[in-house]
Amino acid sequence: MRGSLLASVAFAGAALLAHPAGAQPRGGNGYLFRAPRAALTVRLGVAHPTASGGLFDFVRKELTLGAGSFTGVNAGAELAVLVAPRLAVQFGVSAQHRATGSEYRDFVGTDDLPISQTTTFQRTPLWAGVQWHLVPVGERVGRLAWVPNRVVPYVAAGGGVMHYRFRQDGEFVEAGSLDIFRSELTTRGWAPMGFAAVGTAVSVSPTVALTMEFRREQARGGTAGSFRDFRRIDLAGTSATVGLTFRY
């Protein structure tokens, strides 16, 4: 019996030597064994395009579209890699979309029914930037424990490209003859963009934070196809989002 116990202890010791224990990222209640190296954030909120000048002024004058007709859903994700205690490099993408029903303000059909169409405006920014935390993301306590700060405000800036599409599908009035025709009118393309943002991350656990952000994007693109006579399209806008950040 004693020999069997000694053999079991020796076998367990050999197993431990063959597979030595390593420090795990997750620590105890409220701390980690090491500082996170990166963070993934998923966001959802509202995007409000500026939608001014040229094409937008024209469609708002002719159709029942207003200042808020292009405000829509904004969903996105970003990866931030810490390169210093307060500095991160970010890479992200978002999708901003709104489809709005409209009709002509000054014309109706011969059947006295509205001349209606659907207007869709989509923006998809792909970007890279830097994020500067106004306080450290967390602090090391002793030799092993890392504790996140409860509230971490930040500022961010960067640039990239934006894919855009402006589309109208429905009935339209011919300018000269006043004939009504059905068509799909579209312009799309890519444009360079820049952005600036302010936000705050509130830790709810060592690896998860609730993030709130306000962002301004600046861009202008060319027009083609059905809207080529307008030459340029305003792609600027603001957005407000909330999200979850997962540190690892």
- Average pLDDT of 136-150? 82
Domain presence at residue 111: yes
Query: Residue 212: which pLDDT band, with cuts at 50, 70 and 90?
Result: very high
Q: What is the residue range of 242's domain?
A: 36-247
Residue located via tokens 């705050």: 200
Pairing relation of β-strands 114-133 and 87-108? antiparallel
For the chain, the domain total comes to: 1
Query: Residue 117: which pLDDT band, with cuts at 50, 70 and 90?
Result: very high
Beta carbons within 10 angstroms of residue 34's beta carbon: 14
DSSP 3-state percent helix, strand, coil across the chain (nearest 5): 15, 60, 25
Q: From CA 11, how far away is CA 130, in angstroms rounded?
A: 52
Residue 152: what pLDDT?
95
* Residues 6 or more apart whose Cβ sits within 8 Å of residue 200: 151, 152, 153, 154, 211, 212, 213
pLDDT at residue 107 tops 60? yes
| CATH assignment at residue 229 | 2.40.160.20
Residue 35: what pLDDT?
78
Domain presence at residue 42: yes
pLDDT in tens, 9-60: 343 444 434 434 444 444 555 656 777 889 999 999 999 999 888 899 999 9
Mean pLDDT (the chain, rounded) = 87
Residue 9: what pLDDT?
35
State both tokens at 81: 């890699």
pLDDT at residue 1 tops 50? no
- Average pLDDT of 156-181? 94
pLDDT in tens, 186-196: 999 999 999 99
Domain presence at residue 210: yes
Domain presence at residue 53: yes
Domain presence at residue 8: no
Domain presence at residue 179: yes
Residue 29: what pLDDT?
55
pTM of the model: 0.81
Domain presence at residue 23: no
Domain presence at residue 45: yes
| CB of 192 closer than 8 Å to CB of 163 | no
pLDDT at residue 210 tops 50? yes
Residue located via tokens 């006043």: 178
Q: From CA 150, how far away is CA 241, in angstroms rounded?
A: 19
| CB of 203 closer than 8 Å to CB of 196 | no
